[in-house]
Amino acid sequence: MRFEVTTLGTGAALPAHGRNHSAHVVHHGDDVYLVDCGEGTQERLRQQGVKFQRIKAIFISHLHGDHYLGLMGLLSTLHLLGRQQPLQLFVPEMLEPLLQLHFKASRTYLRYPLQVAVNPTESGICIMQSTQIQVTSLVLRHRVPCTGFVFKESLPLRKLRPEMVAQIPLYKRQAIKAGEDLQLPDGSVLTNTALTLAPPPPRSFAYCSDTAYAPELLPHLQGVDMLYHEATFANDMAARAKETMHSTAAQAATMARDAKVGQLLLGHFSGRYRSTDALLAEALAIFPSTIACQEGATYALRRADQ
Ligand SMILES: [Zn+2]
């Protein structure tokens, strides 16, 4: 099943050098989740051919403009496009009144239900759970309350053993994939392990932006297949990173190494860097499976143990 991340914006507060504000698309199967929604996100979603009506939920990490100022425009566009299905929004506490004020002032009455939930103040809290995926929170270290998110596949169904399929009535197959045993007409029982193979382990993606170096998050990031971590500065600006509660690329790589993740994506690059080569080099020296995100590029999850 498809599990990929598309980076729509790799810039920090100041858009520069062709880098846009933060926005990331998580594709899982046919579902689309949007994480952060900086200015112009809806145009970049269109450029990437993302189907707006497939967006199931939007997650906003914090209320710095480069992470959410595209949200009102996108919500209005969904309304104009005739969306009727509910949209889940996971947001910082003060965003809901901001949205309500905007809709009131513009006399906009959305056609679709907006289901708004406030981001938790603790890490490891499950905020969304479906049959396909679950999302938990990360409390990041930033100048305003800031939340990261871990997307982890819900336990997939077991697979029927090919040699046993003929013995399993069609109407029983779904229940057996879910773990049931099979009672035969003579009263004997075939156990589930005799009928099925274990599914592959669930894959996971973690999103950490914006944050200072936060090693207390390591237990929540342990073994994730892909980690997106902000890397606003290179080592030459480590003091500035600390002051502004951002990370250096080396700190992001240290987090990836210590959490034993599969792959590290770097983003949120300061406008002072025309090229991200130096940041990437500093990260690679610590964690070899590092990629500096490119605008509009899509990255498939690779299992952490591969
Ligand atoms: Zn910020």
Contact assessment for residue 41 and residue 23, using Cβ atoms and an 8 Å cutoff: yes
What is the distance in A from the centroid of ligand 1 to the CA of 272? 16
Query: Interior CA angle at 103 toward 97 and 104, to 5°?
Result: 85
CA distances from 218 to 36, 71, 138, 208, 254 (A): 22, 30, 10, 12, 10
Q: Reply yes or no on whether 66 is catalytic.
A: yes
Instruction: Output the DSSP codes for 86-127.
Output: -EEEEE-TTHHHHHHHHHHHTT---SS-EEEEEPPSSTT-EE
For residues 142 and 245, the answer to whether their CB atoms sit within 8 Å is yes
Cα of 50 vs centre of ligand 1, distance in Å, is 26
Which pLDDT tens digits describe the chain residue by residue (306 residues)? 899 999 999 988 877 888 989 999 999 999 999 999 999 999 999 999 999 989 999 999 999 999 999 999 999 999 999 999 999 999 999 999 999 999 999 998 999 999 999 999 999 999 999 988 999 999 999 999 999 999 999 977 889 999 999 989 999 998 999 889 999 889 999 999 999 998 888 999 999 989 999 999 999 999 999 999 999 999 999 999 999 999 999 999 999 999 999 999 999 999 889 999 999 999 999 999 999 999 999 999 977 655
Q: How far is the centre of ligand 1, averaged over its atoms, from the C-alpha of 119 (Å)?
A: 16
Q: Which of 30, 31, 36, 66 is catalytic?
A: 66
Distance CA 158, CA 192 (A): 9
Q: Which residues surround ligand 1, an ion (CB under 5 A)?
A: 64, 210
CA of 253 to the centre of ligand 1 (A): 19
| Local structure of residue 19 (DSSP, 8 states) | B
Model pTM? 0.89
